[in-house]
C-alpha cells in the first residue's frame, strides 16, 4: 500500500461532508473504468489531483489513441515484413531508448506521469514511422513495451485479452476483404467498396485509407 495525494474538486478536497463528491458509479456512466484509471495515473500518486472533466476527456482521447495503435501493431506484428535494414535498426534504437526511459521513470518512485509521457512519444513514433514501414520486427518490440506497461498498470487489458482477434485466420480474412475492397476502389466501383467498409465497421473493424494502402484495427 502507499499513501496518496488528495483528490481535489477545485480548491477543496473532495469529501462527503462538503457535498462535492463524484462517485465511481457516476464516473463509469460516461467513462470506462480503464479510461478513468488512465486519468488517475496521469498524475503522480503523491501529488494532489484536481478533478477536471476536461482533463478526463483529454486523457480518454489519448487512451483511445493508444488502444487503436496497439490494435494496428498487433496486425503489423503478424503480417508485417520480416526485414532488417538501416531504417529498421534506427527505429529499434529509438524504441529501445523510449523503453529505457519508461523503466527509469517507473523506478523513480513510480513516476507514472513521466512514464506516460514517454508512452505518448512511443505512440506518436509508432504511428509516424513503425506502422507505415510495415516492419514486423519493430512492431513486435513496440508491442512488447505496451504489454509490459499493461502488466504493471493494467490499463490495456481489453486489447491484450482479445483472443479471437489474435487468430491469424481472422486477420487473413480481414486482409482479404480489404484487398477486395481495394480492387473495387481502383475500378471506381464506389458502391461496393463503401458496402465492404460499412460491413467491416459494423463488425467493429475500423479502416483508414492511406496514400497507397489501407490500414485497419479493432475498435
Helix residue spans in 154-211 (DSSP H): 157-160, 168-186, 190-202
The grid coordinates of residue 89 equal 535498426
**Measured on CA atoms in the order 209, 143, 69, 133, is the torsion positive or negative?**
negative
C-alpha cell at 15: 469529501
The pLDDT tens digits for 159-217 are 877 654 456 677 788 888 999 999 999 999 999 999 999 989 888 888 988 877 888 88
Nearest to 164 by CA among 203, 132, 116, 128: 203
The CATH architecture one would assign to domain 7-160 is Orthogonal Bundle (1.10)
pTM, to two decimals: 0.72
Query: 80, 72, 81: which is closest to 165 by C-alpha?
Result: 72
At 106 the pLDDT is 94
Q: Which of 120, 138, 137, 141 is nearest to 129 (CA)?
A: 138
Q: Where are the domains of the chain?
A: 7-160, 164-218
Amino acid at each position: 500500500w502507499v499513501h496518496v495525494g488528495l483528490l481535489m474538486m477545485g480548491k477543496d478536497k473532495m469529501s462527503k461532508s462538503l457535498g462535492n463528491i463524484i462517485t465511481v458509479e457516476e464516473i463509469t456512466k460516461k467513462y470506462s473504468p480503464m479510461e478513468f484509471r488512465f486519468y488517475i495515473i496521469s498524475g503522480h500518486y503523491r501529488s494532489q489531483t484536481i478533478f477536471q472533466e476536461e482533463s478526463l476527456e483529454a486523457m480518454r482521447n489519448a487512451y483511445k489513441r493508444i488502444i487503436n495503435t496497439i490494435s494496428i501493431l498487433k496486425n503489423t506484428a503478424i503480417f508485417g515484413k520480416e526485414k532488417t535494414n538501416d531504417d529498421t535498426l534506427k527505429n529499434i534504437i529509438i524504441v529501445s531508448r523510449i523503453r529505457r526511459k519508461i523503466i527509469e521513470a517507473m523506478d523513480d518512485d513510480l513516476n507514472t506521469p513521466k512514464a506516460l509521457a514517454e508512452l505518448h512519444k512511443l505512440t506518436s513514433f509508432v504511428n509516424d514511422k513503425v506502422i507505415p514501414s510495415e516492419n514486423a520486427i519493430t512492431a513486435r518490440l513496440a508491442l512488447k513495451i505496451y504489454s509490459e506497461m499493461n502488466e504493471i498498470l493494467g490499463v490495456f487489458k481489453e486489447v491484450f485479452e482479445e483472443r479471437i482477434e489474435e487468430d491469424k485466420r481472422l486477420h487473413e480474412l480481414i486482409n482479404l476483404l480489404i484487398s477486395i475492397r481495394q480492387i473495387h476502389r481502383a475500378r471506381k466501383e464506389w458502391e461496393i467498396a463503401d458496402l465492404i467498409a460499412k460491413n467491416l465497421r459494423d463488425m467493429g473493424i475500423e479502416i483508414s485509407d492511406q496514400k497507397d494502402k489501407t490500414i485497419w484495427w479493432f475498435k
